[in-house]
Amino acid sequence: MRPPLPPFTHETATQKVRLAEDGWNGRDPEKVALAYSENSAWRNRDLFITGRAEIVRFLTAKWRRELNYRLIKELFAFSENRIAVRYAYEFHDRTGQWYRAYGNENWVFDDTGLMSQRFASINNLPIGNSERKFHWKLGRRPDDHAGLSDFGL
């Protein structure tokens, strides 16, 4: 079991979103993959990924490319076993170029609270160091840190 479980309320959907954000900000592919069902199916930009082993490979490569990664997710909508989120994250590449990625995800959960499907649409925008907004210490975003709506993102 991976609480909170469906059917979601506004409170439990918001909790699920924050737990996902926290996991991704931890940048541990093995740990993050445990939130997904064994045969979870993803569409991530132009990639189609199936199963935890592929998720681990994808995330390992992602966080080797996307350095100093910081993510904020926000609940957009929910129903019984589905959650829609919008998010932004900042990172830089090996040349030092910073980016802000904007995206939307649609999630479907099984009865045990594991994500069985994830559909992500993402766009990267090059930004200057002075345009960065996400400055907390790497890892979990502090509870008192601004969210997407606070930034007008």
Cβ atoms of 99 and 131 within 8 Å: the answer is: no
Q: What is the pLDDT of residues 110-120, one digit of tens each?
A: 999 999 999 99
Strand order across the beta sheet in which 98-109 lies: 47-50, 36-44, 115-127, 98-109, 82-92, 67-78
By DSSP bridging, strand 98-109 and strand 67-78 are unpaired
pLDDT in the model for residue 105 = 98
Task: Count Cβ neighbours within 10 Å for each residue of 65-85 and write b for 16 or more, e otherwise.
Answer: ebeebbbbbbbbebeebbbbb
By three-state DSSP, how is residue 139 classified?
Answer: coil
What the chain holds in terms of domains, given with CATH numbers, is 10-86+106-120 (3.10.450.50)
Q: What is the pLDDT of residues 112-146, one digit of tens each?
A: 999 999 999 999 999 999 999 999 999 999 999 99
Quote the pTM value: 0.97
Q: What is the mean pLDDT of residues 22-35?
A: 98
Q: What is the pLDDT of residues 67-119, one digit of tens each?
A: 999 999 999 999 999 999 999 999 999 999 999 999 999 999 999 999 999 99
Closest CA relative to residue 130, chosen from 98, 92, 91 = 98
Q: What is the mean pLDDT of residues 53-75?
A: 98
DSSP 35: T
